[in-house]
Amino acid sequence: MYVLEFINEYVASPALVLFMVISGSFFTVRQRLFTPKKLRYIFSELKNGKRSDGISPLSSLSVALAGTLGVGNVSGVAVAISVGGAGAVFWMAVSALLGAALKYCEAYLTVKTRKDGKKGGAPYYIEKICGRSAGCVYASFCVVMSVISGSFVQMNAAGAALDMTYGVPKLACGAVFAVLCAVIVLGGSRRVSAFTSASMPLFCAVFAALSVIAVSMRITEVPAVFARIFREAFGFSQVTGGFSGAVISSALRQGMTKGVFSHEAGCGTSSFSHAVSSAESPDAQGAVGMAEALADTLVFGTLTALVILLSPSGQTSGSYDGASFAISAYAYFFGAPAAHILSCLTVFFAFAAVICQSYYGGAAVAYLTSNDRARIPFYIIYCASLTLGAVVSPSFVWHASDIVCAVMLFINCGCMITGRRLIKNTR
């Protein structure tokens, strides 16, 4: 455990921050994504993207948000604040702005290089740019990441929420999730899309309403909270603390890594959902990717952070049990009913992410073997791992997630920069 923590804090997380800043800044400037003219163009593409067979651009956004929105915006934000302080919120926002450019490029390349109209994703455009070996290495890490992010992280949060609020044994929670996940994922991408398209808008609306009401209850203190966020993001105390502080500040490290976990920009995993979109225009799907990153972290992540920081529990404690930390914050505003509501939302978000991440892992397995049937053994192993994910240590889960994210981001972003000429700068 200590070895894993050392690797994450002194190697993986600093590398992730460096890759994210370099690649995100490069594509933001190169593609001119935040000029008014470009924004008008790509969001008109988001609304009016051409469709043939498959699912619409907005439906693929629902699938992708199912894999990113939810536990990352509840437990992930809470862990970032608990371990990195309020300043981590600022760096999460920075990761979203940089990540929007990376999401645009991932979705653009996915649509441009997909095969047979719907078979595509990061391994396929990585293969086109850097060769089959690079694609296989990436796909292998994608399989590992689907288990860590989809099984361990999600089940850890869901198990903690149900145990804290209802006293449900974590192992039992994992077993139930395993059965339900198997029923859903064996139905394929359309069933995943149908489930997430129907459920996520409702889940997000309830969560957003709860958060907005909580923030409005202490609206006069919001300016002070933002002042604290900026102060701790750049404050001297946040960049000191021995060798760890010399490498990278805790606020910066936690904000960027948990931001990447939340919106997945740069990692390339959500490219599998973009591949099954019916959008024929790479720009249209690129717009979906941008919207995904910005909505996930700038909107929902910031709302969660404000609720936590406006509550007495919003202090740096070093705990990796983000679900319990977030539930306590919401319970401060609404009492016991909020604990029940947020626990249920955490479970729903976790379940949506579990089935979506299983699809990502299955798609990576199919790429490695060129055999769609190879997904079935993976799904069985994946669903069985949910029981383990419910009981493993939260700190182990988050450190492992950060390390694998850093490796995938390095491979994916390095290949996208190498193949930058494939991404046309449409103005």
Q: How high is the pLDDT of residue 28? A: 92
Which of the four pLDDT bands, split at 50, 70 and 90, describes residue 246? Answer: very low
Q: How high is the pLDDT of residue 58? A: 59
Give yes or no for residue 75 having a pLDDT over 80.
yes
- Do the Cβ atoms of 71 and 261 come closer than 8 Å? no
Give yes or no for residue 249 having a pLDDT over 50.
yes
Residue whose entry in the numeric block shows the structure tokens 């705990």: 319
374-423 per-position pLDDT tens digit? 888 898 899 889 988 888 888 888 999 999 999 999 999 999 999 999 98
What average pLDDT score do residues 160-182 get? 88
Give yes or no for residue 244 having a pLDDT over 60.
no
Q: What are the phi and psi torsion angles at 49 (to 5°)?
A: -55, 140
Domains in the chain and their CATH numbers?
2-420 (1.20.1740.10)
- Do the Cβ atoms of 123 and 341 come closer than 8 Å? no
In 49-169, where does DSSP find H-type helix?
57-68, 71, 77-84, 87-113, 122-130, 132-145, 154-166
CA 210 – CA 217 distance, rounded (Å): 11
User: Model pTM greater than 0.85?
Assistant: yes
Q: How high is the pLDDT of residue 64? A: 55
Which of the four pLDDT bands, split at 50, 70 and 90, describes residue 243? Answer: very low
Q: How high is the pLDDT of residue 59? A: 60
Q: How high is the pLDDT of residue 191? A: 61
